[in-house]
Structure 1
Amino acid sequence: MSYLSKQQLSSIGFKSIGDNVLISDKASFYGVQNITIGNNVRIDDFCILSAGEEDFLIGNYIHIGCYTSLIGKGKIILCDYSNISSKVAIYSSNDDYSGEFMTNPMVPSDLTNVTKGSVVIKKHVIIGSGCVLLPNVTIGEGVAIGALSLVNSNCEEFNIYAGSPVKKIKKRKKDLLELEKKIINNYDY
């Protein structure tokens, strides 16, 4: 994988960008003026990040796996230490599928009924490959989402969820909070 140089990153026009940011030269960005990227972030090949009119915030120590898309009109927030596996789709806006309205962004907006809402992914969340997250969802701290899951509702902290739609499977261990202290105390943050 080939990463953009620091000079190339600064020329993209992000709202702000931190240190030790590794972004593939094959990733695509839209609405960059609303995208903030923290420190120690890696974004892999063929990712699409498209910010709407609201802020798109990526914290510190974040990985976004290949072929992932994060798109929509609403706010998207990835808090520190989140891990988004490959082929995840995160939507902060969504068409109305009922048939009562038309769909797609090329149709005049008065003929559509788009749902818009924030997607917030708290600290230490891991989202498995192939998951879909819909608007108006908050994933609590320390949550693990199993591969191929559909997330259409909030997830409570330190639990493991899976399924379509997701269901709580069991509690998740909190050992990683002690490991976070090692990063804070021993590494450049």
Structure 2
Amino acid sequence: MAFLSTEKLNEIGFKSLGENVMISDKVSIYNPKNIQIGSNVRIDDFCILSAGEKGISIGNYVHIACYVSLIGKELIDVQDYVGISSKSAVYSSSDNYSGEYLVGPTIPDQYKDVDHRPVIFEEFSLIGAGSVILPGVTVGRGTAVGALSLVVKSLDYWGVYIGSPVKFIKERKRDLIQKAEQLKAND
């Protein structure tokens, strides 16, 4: 995997860009002027960052694994220490699939009904491979979502959830908070 140089990253035109940012040269980026990226971030091959009007905000110490897509008109907020595993899809916009409306980006707005709501990943949250996150979801602080899960509603903090749609399994340990404090102290 080849990562873009600092010079190439600066040429893209992000709203803001931190230090130690590693973005694969195989990532597709749309509307970079609406994308903020913190420090110590890695975004792997074949990801799609498609920022709408409200943008994409990525905090510090974030990993976005290969084939992840972040797409939508509303805000997608990925806070500090978040991991989004491979082949996950995050949507802050979604068409109405009921059959009452037409769907897709080629259809004029008056013939479709699109749900535009922010998606927020609070700090220390983790998304398992192949998961789908729909508009309006907040994944609470410290919450882990298991692989192949469908998240259609917000999740409380420090839980482990899995399934389609997700169900609460158990509480998640909080030991990682102390590790993050140690990391900050050593930075």
The reply to whether TM is greater than 0.5 is yes
Partner of 1:117: 117
Q: Does 1:144 align with 2:144?
A: yes
Task: After TM superposition, give the deviation of residue 10 of structure 1 in Å.
Answer: 0.3
Q: Does 1:177 align with 2:177?
A: yes
Q: Tell me how far apart the structure 1 counterparts of residues 74 and 135 of structure 2 sit (CA, whole Å).
A: 8
Task: After TM superposition, give the deviation of residue 144 of structure 1 in Å.
Answer: 0.4
- Aligned-pair identity in percent equals 53
Q: Tell me how far apart the structure 1 counterparts of residues 27 and 138 of structure 2 sit (CA, whole Å).
A: 25
Q: Does 1:135 align with 2:130?
A: no
Task: After TM superposition, give the deviation of residue 184 of structure 1 in Å.
Answer: 1.1
Deviations 1:59-106 (A, max 9, x none): 000000000100001100000000000000000000000000000010
Partner of 1:61: 61
Task: After TM superposition, give the deviation of residue 31 of structure 1 in Å.
Answer: 1.1
Q: Does 1:46 align with 2:46?
A: yes
Task: After TM superposition, give the deviation of residue 55 of structure 1 in Å.
Answer: 2.6
- Amino acid in the other structure paired with 1:137: V
Normalised by the length of structure 2, the TM-score is 0.99
Divergent runs of 4+, >3 A: none
Task: After TM superposition, give the deviation of residue 136 of structure 1 in Å.
Answer: 0.3
Equivalent residue runs for 1:90-129 within 5 Å: 90-129=90-129
Unaligned runs of 5+ in 1: none
Partner of 1:156: 156
Is the contact made by 2:28 and 2:47 (CA closer than 8 Å) also made in structure 1?
yes
Partner of 1:30: 30
Normalised by the length of structure 1, the TM-score is 0.98
Is the contact made by 2:55 and 2:73 (CA closer than 8 Å) also made in structure 1?
no
Task: After TM superposition, give the deviation of residue 120 of structure 1 in Å.
Answer: 0.2
User: Helix, strand or coil for the counterpart of 2:11?
Assistant: helix
RMSD (CA atoms) = 0.5
